[in-house]
């Protein structure tokens, strides 16, 4: 018996175009924890190394400028967004919290720029983790 057009579209909609593999789950998690490591797992060595150097450089430049590391709290929306950006740096964020880095209350322009460097390093790492996921799925060559 032949399938109707609606049955064919239901089958096409239910079957994933890109199957979810173990590497598609592991690569972004490892890439979030260690910047660039997800790409290295996927054998994209140059891209992984560039991401590692970029995120580390931005993070430590931000710390060097007395940038503030946000802590989790339920306060101001900007503090929550700053925390989300900072935690994007993965293990670097947790290392900074353990070592008590980024807690100085500096009131100068360099500290504001440093805070921005720290947040952008985390956001870049989030994007890199998503990129690793797309590569692992086969959406991106």
User: 74-124, pLDDT tens digit by residue?
Assistant: 789 999 999 999 999 999 999 999 999 999 887 888 999 999 999 999 999
Euclidean distance between the first and the last CA atom of the chain, given in angstroms as a whole number: 39
Q: Is the model more confident about 131 or about 71?
A: 131
Burial 18-34 (b: 16+ CB within 10 A, else e): eeeeebbebbbebbbbb
Query: 17: which 2 tokens?
Result: 């175009």
Contact (CB, 8 A) for 68 and 115: yes
Whole-number pLDDT of residue 141: 82
Decide if pLDDT at 4 tops 70: no
> For the chain, how big is the Rg over CA atoms in Å?
20
Whole-number pLDDT of residue 14: 63
CA distance 136 to 141: 9
Q: Is the model more confident about 69 or about 16?
A: 69
**What are the domain boundaries of the chain?**
20-137
Query: 72: which 2 tokens?
Result: 């989790």
Average pLDDT value for the chain: 90
């Amino acid at each position: 018996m032949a399938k109707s057009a609606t049955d064919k579209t239901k089958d096409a909609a239910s079957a994933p175009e890109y199957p979810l593999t173990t590497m598609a789950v592991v690569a972004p998690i490892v890439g979030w924890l260690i910047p660039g490591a997800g790409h290295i797992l996927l054998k994209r060595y140059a891209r992984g190394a560039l991401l590692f150097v970029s995120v580390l450089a931005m993070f430590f430049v931000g710390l060097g400028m007395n940038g503030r590391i946000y802590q989790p709290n339920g306060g101001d929306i900007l503090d929550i967004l700053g925390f989300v950006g900072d935690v994007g740096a993965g293990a670097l964020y947790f290392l900074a919290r353990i070592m008590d880095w980024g807690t100085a209350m500096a009131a100068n322009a360099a500290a504001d720029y440093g805070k921005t460097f720290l947040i952008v390093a985390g956001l870049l790492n989030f994007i890199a983790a998503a990129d690793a996921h797309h590569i692992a799925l086969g959406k991106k060559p």
